[in-house]
Amino acid sequence: GENVEQHPSTLSVQEGDSAVIKCTYSDSASNYFPWYKQELGKGPQLIIDIRSNVGEKKDQRIAVTLNKTAKHFSLHITETQPEDSAVYFCAATGYSTLTFGKGTMLLVSP
Amino acid sequence: DTGVSQDPRHKITKRGQNVTFRCDPISEHNRLYWYRQTLGQGPEFLTYFQNEAQLEKSRLLSDRFSAERPKGSFSTLEIQRTEQGDSAMYLCASSSDRVPFYSPLHFGNGTRLTVT
């Protein structure tokens, strides 16, 4: 089955800096890669996703890049704000269920 | 769109007792998923339904766990003879197969189970 590795496990940045979270996956058949944000006491919330037919997708301050050859994808957050502080999860799937990484705790200091 | 609703939000039970959780998906979604999340980990897949049919079960789902989705609407997850290792957040998610390609999962806020 699919195996998703995510790093770093924690990331501390100053407000206004950029943050990058990286994931690798094992199943070359995977073709859908969402990113979720989870705040304390809440369920994961989808923030952006990318399909295998594109290499990059951007939504305001958030962007995701995908390298299918190397089997890795990354989340980029620019101009970070304190409200970006949360745990971020990457995930991957082919035609079955989502497999999640272990998460990255992002701390944005004012 | 009222989102995915889960009940209860918290459940404390003694080891050996049975517990049941409920999930109400987004109304137009025909797929429903159960995931389990422990501290410091990502969600782990347990099982999923398409309408009322349970199509896939993880090997994590021991025979003490049973899930149902009568009439393809809400779902229940029952854990019998709970063990301390069952303590976790149980997350429900829903999606639609009427969207081309892959439809995003929408998660509820989970039920946190503590087994004492």
What is the pLDDT confidence band of residue A71, given thresholds at 50, 70 and 90?
Answer: very high
Q: Is the pLDDT of residue A96 over 80?
A: no
- pLDDT the model gives residue B71: 86
Calpha distance B24→B94 (Å, rounded): 9
Helix (H) or strand (E) holding B77: strand B75-79
The pair of structure tokens assigned to A93 is: 């799937």
Confidence at A87, pLDDT banded by 50, 70, 90: very high
Percent of chain A predicted with pLDDT > 70:
98
* Residue B36, phi then psi, degrees to nearest 5: -120, 140
CA gyration radius, chain B: 14
Q: In whole numbers, what is the pLDDT of chain A averaged over residues?
A: 94
Six token digits for residue A109: 């200091």
Q: Which amino acid is at B14?
A: K
Strand partners, A20: A76
Task: Report chain B residues touching chain A, CB-CB < 8 A.
Answer: 4, 33, 40-45, 48, 56, 91, 93, 101-102, 104-110
Beta strands in chain A (DSSP E): 4-7, 10-14, 19-25, 32-38, 45-51, 56-59, 62-67, 72-77, 86-92, 99-100, 104-109
CA distance B20 to B7: 9
If one compares B71 and A6, the residue with the highest pLDDT of the two is A6
Is the pLDDT at A40 greater than 60? The verdict is yes
Arithmetic mean of pLDDT, B16-42: 95
What is d(CA B35, CA B23) in angstroms, rounded to the nearest whole number? 12
Residues B66-113 have pLDDT tens digits of 999 998 899 999 999 999 999 999 999 999 876 656 778 999 999 999
Task: Give the integer Cα–Cα distance in Å for A68 and A72.
Answer: 7
How many interchain CB pairs under 8 A, A with B?
A: 51
Percent residues over pLDDT 90 in chain A: 85
Q: Which residue has the tokens 């766990």?
A: B65
* B105–A103 CB contact, under 8 Å: no
Contact B42/A93, CB-based, under 8 Å?
Answer: no
Q: What six digits make up the tokens of B36?
A: 């389990």
The predicted pLDDT at position A95 comes to 66
Higher-pLDDT residue of B89, A96: B89
